[in-house]
Structure 1
Amino acid sequence: MAMDRTTLENLLRTAFPDAEINLVDLAGDDDHWSAEIISASFRGKTRVAQHQMVYAALNGQMGGELHALQLKTSAPA
């Protein structure tokens, strides 16, 4: 199974409505994504906590519909 850009972006925008989100389909198969997410909700959180927030936003679909997700997260400057 794969996750298309619209589905992935909708999940992330629901969890991080203020975010700047940049998605890149790394393999052209809707299954290997790179996501850069800049959100104020990451402020004061460790990188691990930020990534856990992103995985939580995916509602358990990581490893199922979405095989690989390269993450870069940060709070706005």
Structure 2
Amino acid sequence: MPSADELKSRIEAALPDCTATVEDWTGGGDHFRATVVSPAFDGLSRIQQHRLVYDVFGAEIGGPIHALSLKTETPK
């Protein structure tokens, strides 16, 4: 199972100039909560923003990553 640090690294590698914080929400290694701040989200709907992040993990969502709760925003 991936760690919170691995998820953070993968998000930041896939979305240039973004900052991600990821925590293991339940301590079991399969439910995560992430906040992602990226200029790539500018002008996108919340659904489009979340899709950009979920696409980083593809089929892992619902598998090894059972749940990923997201908060996305653009830099202030």
TM (norm. structure 1) is 0.88
Deviation, structure 1 residue 60: 2.2
Higher relative contact order (CA closer than 8 Å, sequence separation 6+): 1
Q: Identity over the aligned pairs, expressed in percent? A: 34
Deviation, structure 1 residue 55: 0.8
**CA RMSD between the two structures:** 1.2
Deviation, structure 1 residue 20: 1.4
Runs of 4+ in 1 over 6 A off after TM superposition: none
Which deviates further from its counterpart, 53-62 or 43-52?
Answer: 53-62
Unaligned 5+ segments in structure 2 are none
Residue of structure 2 equivalent to 1:76: 75
Which is helix-richer, 1 or 2? 2
Unaligned 5+ segments in structure 1 are none
